[in-house]
Amino acid sequence: MQRKKVQDFLKKHRSAWIKANLWRVLGDLYLIDYEQEGIRVSLSKAERAYANALALDSETPMALLGKGRVVYYEGNLTEAKKIFQRVVSRSVYPRERAIAKYYIAHILWKEGKTQEAAKMLRDAVAEHPNSFTGVEVRSQ
């Protein structure tokens, strides 16, 4: 139902900025399907939606975050880290930077860089505490 509404709005609007954000929302909806249900086809649909958003506005931070998450789930951690670092360096919004740092921390952890991962996660929590209610990061 939600996807249908977003697709209907996409047909109506001419503004590239609005369309880019609608494509991003559609990508988020597909990504939620993948994260909650493991529906693999939803991951490729999310990837296409984020690509459409970024084709209209290459610096849409939330679309970059979505693309980074898709690449992360596909297992390309090197490319995902680059995308998330791009969000950290370019976004003016603390929440977006915090989310990107959260995923960078996960990647660092998977790379065995646990101290760097813990620092990055602390940075993410400090950047936007409301995004991480109840999260406590301890050093080992």
Cβ-count burial of 108 within 10 angstroms (0-12 exposed, 13-18 middle, 19+ buried)? Answer: buried
Q: Model confidence over 55-80: pLDDT tens digits?
A: 998 878 899 999 999 999 999 999 99
Q: Model confidence over 19-48: pLDDT tens digits?
A: 888 899 999 999 998 888 887 888 999 999
Q: pTM of this prediction? A: 0.84
Rg of the chain over Cα atoms, rounded to whole angstroms, equals 16
HSE (side-chain half, CA atoms, 13 Å) at 20 = 14
Q: How far apart are CA 119 and CA 89, in angstroms?
A: 17
Phi-psi region of 133 (alpha: psi -120 to 50; beta: other; left: phi over 0): beta
